[in-house]
Amino acid sequence: MMLHLVRRGYIVASAESYHLTYINSSKNRSNFTRWQDAANALLKDMPNYTGMGKLFDDTKLLIDLLYNDTRVDNSRIGIAGHSLGGKMAFYAGCLDERVCAILASDFGIGWHQSNWGDDWYWSKKLQQMITAGMDHIQLLSIASPKPFCLLAGQYDTDESYEIMLKADGYKKDDGRLKIVNHATGHRPPMWALEEGYNFLDHWVKNQE
């Protein structure tokens, strides 16, 4: 995504997520147990914190960097991510007013569509939120009418669009809420990515 967006003329910032940086580890970067190790260390250090909170806070630092860089038009900051990065893009995009458009790929917008209860995301607090009636419809409603495009493929499905449409502040046909369901698995094909990038171009580059 970064390379594709740079080729389209965007200034892009990214960083390694905390499972690679929070603790020193001799495990291979691709070893998935690094997530659990980092989450265990994070929750030990800050028992009231969450992995999702850490991911959001780290993403917000990147937005700070872009916003204060004189080379950047800080009125036109978009955000994009896939899978874990899709979760980060969705949360930061919804909660940070400096982000003007969101592109998120196959992150599982419904609680039941992804591993939101794992320790490196919401851990035990997920059940507390479900019991309290909290979900991502409310998060998207906070952001409305900010443009949001979801690339669905495996974890996100047509059901995800029905969830999105329940958010306040959006109209079905106004173009600000879009789903591209390629239905080919977790990794999006290039044509689906291109539709997402075109969405960003429209709402980031061409905004008045």
- The per-residue pLDDT for range 2-18, each reduced to its tens digit, is 999 999 999 999 999 99
Is the pTM for the entire model greater than 0.85?
Answer: yes
| Every domain of the chain and the residues it spans | 2-205
The two counts, helices (H) then strands (E), for the chain are 8, 4
Nearest to 81 by CA among 178, 186, 1, 172: 1
Residues whose CB is less than 8 angstroms from the CB of residue 104 and which lie 6 or more positions away in sequence, other chains included: 80, 81, 82, 86, 87, 89, 90, 93, 148, 149, 150, 151
pLDDT single digits (tens) 89-145: 999 999 999 999 999 999 999 999 999 999 999 999 999 999 999 999 999 999 999
Torsion sign over Cα 135, 141, 142, 147: positive
Helix (H) or strand (E) holding 198: helix 190-200
Looking at 3.30.70.360, 3.40.50.1820, 3.40.50.360, 3.30.750.200, the CATH number of the domain 2-205 comes to: 3.40.50.1820
